Structure 1
Amino acid sequence: MSFEINGKTYETDEEGYLINLAEWTTDAAVHLAEEEKVPLTDNHWEVINFLREYYNEFQIAPAVRVLTKAIGKKFGEEKGNSKYLYDLFPYGPAKQACKIAGLPKPTGCI
């Protein structure tokens, strides 16, 4: 599977996750978010950029519990909770946000 933006083709797996993580761009993120029906706000970008930094540092996409704790530590308690993250990414903060961030599906996600 694949999609194209501005003449560039992005390959995805059968679930829509980017195959080549290095190809991720903000344009790709916007496209993936549209497919997921997630309107990107500054709060979404905050989580997406956090996930990309986390992945670069640890080479793993965090599961939702780890993500929730880490977001709370970095951005404050009001953002470090499941309700806030599910409001942003209704189909699963770790799973859906990782897809939009161009990262692999987190371990443990169905």
Structure 2
Amino acid sequence: MSELLAAIKFNAEGYMTDPNQWTREIAEVLAKQEGIDTLTPEHWKIIDFCRQTGLATGKSPTLRQITNGTGISTKDLFALFPKGPAKKVAKIAGLGKPEGCV
């Protein structure tokens, strides 16, 4: 694990417990751990939307909220964040696990 993550607290499922500790640099490290080598502007659009929504509501947005809020299709979300985009984005964005995700 990166030195950058050493002071960060995570829960048993790997989600940050304090979203205020999040930085873009931390997001890049977390993305690599999730199998995403490079965060593109499209990735950041989704991450930024999720951060704004999550911090405003106290909950990570669902897949439907992400597609509606960003205008990015479900298919494209799965291409950008394979195998469970809502959960991966929440982890990378420093938010908790989205409700309804198993």
**TM-score normalized by the length of structure 1:** 0.83
- After TM superposition, list the pairs within 5 Å mapping 1:35-74 onto structure 2: 35-39=33-37, 40-72=39-71
Residue of structure 1 aligned with 2:80, choices 88, 91, 95: 88
Per the normalisation by structure 2, the TM-score is 0.89
Q: Which amino acid aligns with 2:27?
A: A
For 1:67 and 1:47, locate their aligned partners in 2 and report how far apart those are by CA, in whole Å: 7
Q: Which ranges of structure 2 fall in alignment gaps of 5 or more residues?
A: none
Residue 99 (structure 2) aligns with: 107
Q: Percent of counterpart pairs with the same letter? A: 39
Across the aligned residues of Structure 1 and Structure 2, the Cα RMSD in angstroms comes to 1.7
Which string of whole-angstrom CA distances, capped at 9 and with x for unpartnered residues, describes residues 37-95 of structure 1?
Answer: 113111101100110011122221111122212222xxxxxx2x110110000021211
Query: Given residue 70 of structure 2, which amino acid in structure 1 is its aligned partner?
Result: I
CA contact (8 A) 1:17 1:102 kept: yes
Gaps spanning 5+ residues in structure 1: where?
Answer: 73-78
